[in-house]
Structure 1
Amino acid sequence: MKEQEKYETIKKLVETNGNKKRAALKLGCTQRHINRMIKGYVDEGKDFFVHGNKGRKPKHTLNDETKKLILNLYNTKYYDANFEHYSELLEEYEGIKISPSAVRSILMAEQILSPMAHRSTKKRIKKQLLKQKNNTSSKKEIEKIEDKILEIEDAHPRRPRCANFGELIQMDASLHEWFGGINTQLHIAIDDATGAIVGAYFDLQETLNGYYNVLSQILKIYGIPYMFFTDRRTVFEYKQKKSPSIEEDTFTQFGYACKQLGIVIKTSSVPQAKGRVERIFKTLQSRLILELRLNGITTIEQANIFLNSYIKKYNAKFALSINNIKSVFEKQPDDEKINLTLAILSSRKIDNGHCIKYENKYFRLLDPNGNPVYYYKGTSGMVIKAFNKELYFCVGETVYALEEIPSHERKSKNFDFDTPEEKPKKRYIPPMSHPWKQASFEKFMNKQAHRKELTA
């Protein structure tokens, strides 16, 4: 339009022998430049006003082959990446350095939307696709357009971040086909103040084990946080009426562990209330799935090992710096305290064989010297399954080790004469300073039951 305006102004000036000063003022140039344009118009006509680079591609423009390659790679290999992540992957794996905006231009030209596209973008593209659908009569083309039309997702409401690092940790799990063609639950803990992932663990279901592993990571790396913010489902739900045993009451188990550490648990039944962790799952479903696939991850064990390095990479890119944010994490407990606190507690009674039955197996009680201990039938106690799966039994103020009783003797006293008699082995038994006192655990259970009655 600028070229056209110059051409029409100079043409009128020459034909009417008009005022050069007025023409210079109109075009925003000097009178000397007006004289140059008059000479150019006389010599070349309209062609003089056409810019020399018109129709010529800039030097840094991607060629058609590269554009086609980028489009094909996205459709076949990186199809679930958002545009910014895709530009990073192209540089890392394909040696193609290209900006996210350039990637966006190439893919949007084919009406390919990012998994992280804004609602306004989705609405605009959907409107264009519906218009194309109405203007075409080809059934095949209509089917393609219908496949591209995306549903609009609701956004979570924004709220201010917490002031301190470790003040509020949002926890949740997401069931998805993360790797290997199977659905698994990714348990996540995210700090509200910084947006950093402070713990992550894969499991087949949303389990107490999954959240215990996440909590273990937080305790070992950062320390004891002030508060957890969770939903009211599964692991954080109060005991159900038909629950057959206390070890299945996962809210009580997790809640009791947090009580011993001094961690407050806040719950909400509204997913939008914990939008920070809900948004991060959307980001991870766009990025982590692709990273797992590119690294050949097919099992839960491999995925959990990969998470250790991926969390550092994710936090370095997305989490806010904690340099100017005060940390309210308390000092990290030692490994032994973590192992003993993240335990599953179960009430049991000693049978007439001086044993207890746990997980369909029979166990006998041993003292620190490895000698068996005997109690009357019906004596109640508490089985403690530590985080490392070791088993103990607490009776009153005394803790004993548990030894499984095999269904058959390993060696015969009558035929294996050359085998020396085994002496009792000393067993490590934790001191009674742990939080396993049966009275305090039962008091906590009664409090949870009363709380459930009030909310029912």
Structure 2
Amino acid sequence: MSQNVKLITMKRISLTMDETKKYHTIKAVHDGRKKKERASVELGTTIRQVDRLLKAYDTKGKAAFVHGNRGSRPMHAMSFETKERIVNLYKAFQEAKPNIKHFTEILTENYDIHYSDTTIRTVIYGAGLLSPKSQRKTRKRIKAQLKKQNKEKQVKSLLPKADEKLVLHEKAHPSRPRKKYRGELLQMDASSYPWFGGKISHLHVAIDDASGNIVGAYFDTQETLKGYYHVLHQILAKHGIPNAFLTDKRTVFEYQSKAMKKVEEDTFTQFGFACHQLGIDIRTSSIPQAKGRVERLNGTLQSRLPIDLQMAGITSIEQANAFLKQWISKFNRKFGNKTKETVFEKAPSTSKINLLLARVTKRVVDSGHHIRYNNNFYLPIEADKDKYFTKKSKALVIDAFDGEIYINIDEKIYASRKLLAHELHSQEWLFVKSCGKLLSPKKQVTD
């Protein structure tokens, strides 16, 4: 970018909602996180237009998405001050008023106001004033206009306001067509039901809005982050990165502190942060009808899946999750596959997914140089060598998707070694039951 463009990008640039969406989409394409085809679907434009926007972004940065006429009036538009002056000059004629043509000549000769009689007529009639030579139909129109305005002022307080009949945006669920491409929108939810064994369990499930395919499903005892992580892992492993999720409003997906007022200061949940890193948009709604696809799926699953689980003799969550793999393939062949066109992006490597779908927790190093997590003690290691950090050193415990524990201290990630219970105590002295004494290592050797 040129020096001028750099100076422009340093200024605070505010965009409208449409401009912001366009900016984030093009930026994702520029950074290699989205394909041009995916961007054209999201923006509803051609790939050729995406190329133009990319070129503009390379040249101007974020400023390229601000409309050129933002905050400016057309050059030929009459100023408000001039309009007010023209109306006041016309009102100044008390007994006899000039016609519009004559008044236009007066403005030009005496007041240096140069406009056509058509423009002056629009200003005068717009103020509810009449020319002596106004036609009958014009007089009736202006009279009706004034009468309507006066009536609206009188009954305005008595009439119900339109705002009172509006439905809150988050409670609205207008009908919409099915998405065209696989991966364009996935609906996700968890269903509590006695699926097997007579006990309540939770089935986390995601369905593709376009194809109607189940793209991920996982049983757990509760609706948990772990359950949704497993669903997301299945999606990434089998299909790739989707464009967006539609879910209900639960803290697993989104959280915004009441003290936070700016969008950029919102905090991400762990699931939300993982999706943010992958470039997946999360849309939420507390209205079941807004995500009707997954709600209807839950009803279908509750009527069919428990019977099949019972016939297969399933009694545990582990057996149920193993059974789901084959069952979903059969379900999709029967009810899904409504489209083959896809906008799924290529998923990251297995190792990267393993760290993206991790649970991160803050901890401090204790006096024994250990870190306690889930009632276990861990020691950072590097190249199979134990690393000892000072007491109260701040650390982040990274519980990876595969169960491995990593420790981040001062922006450096270490592997960890789980300490066994006996390792927390000294091995230099042993109590010998036969003699009832404490013996040192040297004493033990000589004996």
TM-score by length of 2: 0.53
Please say if 1:173 is aligned against 2:187: no
Q: 1:239 to 1:383 in 2, by over 3 A?
A: farther
1:16-95 paired onto structure 2 within 5 Å? none
Q: What is aligned with 2:400?
A: 386
Q: What is aligned with 2:133?
A: none
Tell me if structure 1 keeps the 8 A contact 2:190–2:203: yes
Q: 1:178 to 1:234 in 2, by over 3 A?
A: farther
Please say if 1:327 is aligned against 2:342: yes
Tell me if structure 2 keeps the 8 A contact 1:221–1:332: no
Q: What is aligned with 2:416?
A: 402
Tell me if structure 1 keeps the 8 A contact 2:179–2:210: yes
- Letter paired with 2:343: V
Equivalent of residue 214 in structure 1, options 231, 234, 237: 231
1:362: Cα distance to partner?
2.1
Distance in 2 between residues matched to 1:217 and 1:377, nearest whole Å? 40
SS at match of 1:332: coil
Tell me if structure 2 keeps the 8 A contact 1:206–1:235: no
1:205: Cα distance to partner?
0.3
SS at match of 1:346: strand
1:14-55 alpha-carbon deviations (Å, 9 max, x no partner): xxxxxxxxxxxxxxxxxxxxxxxxxxxxxxxxxxxxxxxxxx
Point out where structure 2 has 5 or more consecutive residues left out of the alignment. Answer: 1-172, 259-266, 433-447
Tell me if structure 1 keeps the 8 A contact 2:396–2:409: yes
Please say if 1:311 is aligned against 2:311: no
1:360-413 alpha-carbon deviations (Å, 9 max, x no partner): 22221111x211112222221211000011101111231111222333149956
1:69-218 paired onto structure 2 within 5 Å? 159-218=176-235
Tell me if structure 1 keeps the 8 A contact 2:188–2:294: yes
Distance in 1 between residues matched to 2:350 and 2:302, nearest whole Å? 32
Point out where structure 1 has 5 or more consecutive residues left out of the alignment. Answer: 1-155, 242-249, 417-456
Equivalent of residue 355 in structure 1, options 370, 377, 380: 370
Tell me if structure 2 keeps the 8 A contact 1:203–1:210: yes
Q: What is aligned with 2:293?
A: 276
Tell me if structure 1 keeps the 8 A contact 2:182–2:209: yes
Distance in 2 between residues matched to 1:332 and 1:261, nearest whole Å? 9
Distance in 2 between residues matched to 1:232 and 1:251, nearest whole Å? 13
SS at match of 2:403: coil
- Letter paired with 1:398: K
1:420-439 paired onto structure 2 within 5 Å? none
Distance in 2 between residues matched to 1:354 and 1:239, nearest whole Å? 35
Distance in 1 between residues matched to 2:205 and 2:199, nearest whole Å? 19
- Greater alpha carbon shift after TM alignment, 369-378 vs 339-348: 369-378
Distance in 1 between residues matched to 2:274 and 2:296, nearest whole Å? 28
- Letter paired with 2:373: Y
SS at match of 1:408: helix
- Letter paired with 1:186: L
What percentage of aligned pairs have identical amino acids?
54
Please say if 1:343 is aligned against 2:358: yes
Q: 1:159 to 1:226 in 2, by over 3 A?
A: same
1:239: Cα distance to partner?
7.2
- Letter paired with 2:196: F
1:237: Cα distance to partner?
4.6
Q: 1:287 to 1:210 in 2, by over 3 A?
A: same
RMSD over aligned Cα, in angstroms?
Answer: 2.6
Please say if 1:254 is aligned against 2:271: yes
SS at match of 1:283: helix
- Letter paired with 1:315: N
Runs (4 or more) in structure 1 with deviation over 6 Å come to 413-416
- Letter paired with 1:281: N
Distance in 2 between residues matched to 1:365 and 1:177, nearest whole Å? 42
SS at match of 1:378: coil
Tell me if structure 1 keeps the 8 A contact 2:369–2:391: yes
Tell me if structure 2 keeps the 8 A contact 1:206–1:234: no
Distance in 2 between residues matched to 1:157 and 1:285, nearest whole Å? 26
Distance in 1 between residues matched to 2:405 and 2:322, nearest whole Å? 26
Q: 1:165 to 1:296 in 2, by over 3 A?
A: same
